[in-house]
């Protein structure tokens, strides 16, 4: 890693790009709904997160309709979903805005789910990851598609310590739902 993370408990940042959205005529970008594929893929992302034991203690979600619906469909796959904070800063956010929101998360949260948009999420992952397991970094550099889930782990006393190059990218998955 480029820079050693502070000592402290293991923390996990799970980054979920919203599921595939539709482009209905006359609908502003912020209000776009999920496309049929997105309606299948968002629950698949939730199931994949449950199967991998990536269930968060807290979720931060963009205010965009497609992000909030992705959250709802993914979280419906878990027994008891964690609390979610819908944050307007996450819509069309760049890395500094995303980091600002993440760094405000309470210390008690060990696993945080961040649901938002590209290119910000992809850039955040690549900024935070000082290293990656297997080909995870190459996967993100090549394409971070809709419904993609990336997992970054690091050690720190609190989220305010999360800094560029201090995390390890351990997993990247692109869950897809099956057509009926």
Tens-place pLDDT, residues 38-85: 999 999 999 999 999 999 999 999 999 999 999 999 999 998 999 999
Confidence of residue 6 (pLDDT cuts 50, 70, 90): low
Q: Per-residue confidence at 8, pLDDT binned at 50, 70, 90? A: confident
Report the interhelical angle of 95-103 vs 120-128 (nearest 10°).
70
Residues 6+ apart with CB under 8 A from 81: 59, 75
pLDDT at 140 over 80: yes
> Residues 12, 54: contact at Cβ < 8 Å?
yes
Question: Rounded to whole angstroms, how far apart are CA atoms 157 and 165?
Answer: 17
pLDDT score, position 9: 87
Q: What is the DSSP string of 34-59?
A: B-HHHHHHHHHHHHHHHHTT---SEE
């Amino acid at each position: 890693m480029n820079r050693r993370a502070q000592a402290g408990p293991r923390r996990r940042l799970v980054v979920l790009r919203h599921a595939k959205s539709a482009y209905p005529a006359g609908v502003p970008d912020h209000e776009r709904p999920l496309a049929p594929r997105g309606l299948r893929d968002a629950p698949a992302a939730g199931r994949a997160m449950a199967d991998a034991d990536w269930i968060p203690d807290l979720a931060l979600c963009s205010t965009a309709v497609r992000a909030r619906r992705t959250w709802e469909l993914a979280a419906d796959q878990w027994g008891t979903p964690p609390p979610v904070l819908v944050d307007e800063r996450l819509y069309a956010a760049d890395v500094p805005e995303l980091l600002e929101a993440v760094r405000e998360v309470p210390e008690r949260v060990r696993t945080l789910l961040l649901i938002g948009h590209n290119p910000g999420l992809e850039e955040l992952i690549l900024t935070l990851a000082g290293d990656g397991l297997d080909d995870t970094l190459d996967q993100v550099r090549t394409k971070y598609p809709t419904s993609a889930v990336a997992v970054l782990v690091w050690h720190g006393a609190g989220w305010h310590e999360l800094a560029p190059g201090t995390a390890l990218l351990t997993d990247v998955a692109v869950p897809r739902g099956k057509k009926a």
